[in-house]
Amino acid sequence: MGEQTAIEWCHHTFNAWIGCTKVSPGCKNCYAAALDHRWGNDRWGVGKPRGHTAAAYWRQPLKWNADALKAGERRRVFTNSMADVFDAEVPPMWRLELFDLIRRTPQLDWLLLTKRPERILAGIGEAGCVVRSDNAAFDETLVWLSNWLCWDAPPNVWLGTTVEDQPRASRLHFLSDVPAAVRFLSCEPLLERVNLHLAYDDVRIHWVIAGGESGTGARPMHPDWARSVRDQCEAMRVPFLFKQWGTFNAAGERVGKKLSGRLLDGVLHDAYPNDVADAAREAGF
């Protein structure tokens, strides 16, 4: 788990802990919950203890950072693919440890995708309080967190939220409250047509991912829903990545993720916000 990933838009995945609570329609067929249950665990739901991952596993990103530096390139890490960084059920110390690791791996771009954007500021603040009260070993991270809250965003943190349907488009507004080198949306699983235009009024979005659902119980995505997101991104000059059709292809046939592919109207959409991220680093943002 982590060294290699099949997720199209990142190089690695890293799970600081495992477990979550379903909060919206996009969570209905959560692959992470199903996988964790298959492993014999019970870490999903309110009041269920999350599972912190092993110390040896936490050393992997340090190696990824060194490898990226040696190669002279940056690598993207999808953070907590089997959890939510801003889950209120998680001890603040765990989040502090994650932020400390992110600070110590500047060659990696950490993608923090949450369904709880209203909790981002609180999650950062809670981690800062742990530093002040419990552990002087995190002094540099305290400065890093304080700067973040003062609109000096870490250049290697990309903040994103999931917008699977129109009601969840309101999540975008919470991103405007938090400084970020890159702000992005994941419209996956895309469950209906979503109008993003109004949501862009008060926050600049730098990247949008869209895709259909895969796995057991997958719900088909109508091609027009994906086209609408693509066209909105084109109109706003926002990089757009079409991740997958999922279990159902464009014709609505259940063929599986591999056969349904990634082409939208015959085109591979695989854009990234590299210019935005580079500018943020050069500005010391």
Q: What is the pLDDT of residues 232-281, one digit of tens each?
A: 999 999 999 999 999 999 999 999 999 999 999 999 999 999 877 776 66
| Portion of the chain with pLDDT greater than 70, in percent | 92
Q: Which amino acid is at 261?
A: G
pLDDT of residue 56: 98
Q: Which amino acid is at 114?
A: T
C-alpha closest to that of 210 among 235, 192, 230: 230
Within 13 A of 213's CA, how many CA atoms are on the CB side?
Answer: 21
pTM: 0.93
Structure-token pair, residue 147: 């700067």
The pLDDT-based confidence of 202 (bands split at 50, 70, 90) is low
pLDDT of residue 217: 94
Annotate 99-124 with DSSP letters as a single string: HHHHHT-TTEEEEEEES-GGGHHHHH
Question: Poorest-confidence range of 15-24, 28-37, 71-80?
Answer: 28-37
- Which domains are present in the chain? 12-282 (3.80.30)
Burial class (CB in 10 A: 0-12, 13-18, 19+), 51: middle
